[in-house]
Amino acid sequence: MSEAGQAMLLDRYQRLSEISLDLASTLDLKTLLDRIVHAAADLSNAEAASILLYDENKRQLHFETTTNLDEPLMRGLIVPVDSSIAGWIVLNCEPVIIDDTQKDSRHYSEIAKYTNVTTTSMLGVPLVAKDEMIGVLEAINKIEGNFNEDDQDVLMALGAQAAVAIANARLFHQSDLISELVHELRTPLSSLNTAAHLLTRPDLPEERSEQVIEAIQNEITRLSEMTSAFLDMARLESGRTQFNAELFDPGLLIEECINLVSGKVDEKDLHLQIDISDDNPEITADRDKIKQVLLNLLSNAIKYNYPQGDIKVSACVEGNDFVITVSDTGPGINDEDQQHLFEKFYRVESSEKAVPGSGLGLAISQRIVEAHNGKIEVESKVGKGTTFRVCLPIR
């Protein structure tokens, strides 16, 4: 190797050392993965880079993060392990350099149909931490010349550090969630224990017995909702949530969600006002995930509203976004609480005992909306009510 080549390689390893410190500075998985793919593209002088995460239980690979493609669309793409280059890397736990992917029988050509990007050359390395297969790191389309062994060595070194960082981030969030789950389970389990004890008393009046049974049913429902929320959050934070993009009319989805909560609206004698155009642009997103967000906002507008209060649901186009608004006439939220609303497990103290919940609904909703390159906002005044706005890009 020439002196110039040695100097360039030394420079790349110096940058790799700096990147390693950067990776160690965060436990936020989304930020971490974004830093890894940009570092991979930079170090290998590639047009783009991506990370595919491996689900051992399902024996599936799926795109999680890329440098130059639409993330929600990419995160919905499943790559078969048995008939793809990335799958070969997982099964053999070896790196691979391919100068012309179109001539390689392992190339999964279906990806190009979804992304409109042609992969000509590729360098892929396995992401392995403590004998656990995390996934695959790919550099795509060398800008000048072909990928070589120096590129492979540098990307292998980055991949080794990236895999450890990803595993650590997952463990941190898993430990955090487990700790919170145990804490949150104590109250409903204590209530169930008390209720069970009461039912064993032979002198318990029938009317009181029915009340206890109803309380048990309510606590079981609460536990079910809580564990579902914890699982959703765990999947989102570990990168195991897959987004399946499809084209749909958001107006029809809003109407569907309203129909699902109409019974609860009637129970509380709320007045529902709907302002949605019949001529809505179609959007590309994960319909089920957006439905989850809307149902959460509508549920909150019902639970935190006064009896005979008002709920308004509207939708319109603002610039390049489709904006959905859900407003209520409840007690409102003060400025201090608004700053923490989207944090995990945060609940407004004044309503914590009056309205049961896990404190995860808004945190999950925010992560889903942001994964679609959108945003969710809140406006509220004490005594006036609360408004949530969901802005989704029109694609």
Crossing angle for the helix pair 3-23 and 149-199, to the nearest 10 degrees: 10
Residue-wise pLDDT for 245-273, tens only, equals 889 999 999 999 999 999 999 999 999 99
Looking up tokens 């309380």, which residue turns up?
A: 215
| Residue 82 belongs to domain with CATH number | 3.30.450.40
> pTM for this one?
0.71
d(CA 307, CA 234): 35
Phi, psi of 153 (to 5 degrees): -60, -45
Longest Cα pair distance anywhere in the chain, in angstroms?
93
**Parts of the chain with a pLDDT under 70:** 1-10, 13, 69-76, 112-117, 239, 349-358
Residue-wise pLDDT for 340-391, tens only, equals 889 887 777 665 555 666 678 999 999 999 989 899 999 999 989 999 999 9
Single residue among 137, 169, 201 that ends a domain in this structure: 169
Output the six-digit token pair for 238: 């570990």
pLDDT at site 26 = 76
Domain of residue 127: give its range.
3-169
C-alpha closest to that of 136 among 128, 147, 126, 150: 126
**280 within domain boundaries:** yes
d(CA 265, CA 243): 30
Pure H helices in the chain: 3-23, 29-44, 71-75, 85-92, 110-115, 149-199, 206-238, 250-267, 287-303, 335-338, 349-352, 361-371
Per DSSP bridges, beta strands 310-318 and 271-276 are parallel
d(CA 352, CA 359): 9
Looking up tokens 């008002």, which residue turns up?
A: 310
What are the C-alpha distances in Å from 3 to residues 6, 9, 167, 356, 389? 5, 10, 38, 68, 58
Single residue among 169, 200, 225 that ends a domain in this structure: 169
d(CA 107, CA 122): 10
Q: What's the first-to-final CA gap in the chain, in angstroms? A: 48
C-alpha closest to that of 232 among 113, 53, 368: 368
Claim to verify: residue 26 and residue 164 sit in the same structural domain: yes
pLDDT at site 217 = 87
Q: Count CB atoms within 10 A of the CB of residue 137.
A: 30
**15 within domain boundaries:** yes
Claim to verify: residue 249 and residue 157 sit in the same structural domain: no
| Residue 264 belongs to domain with CATH number | 3.30.565.10
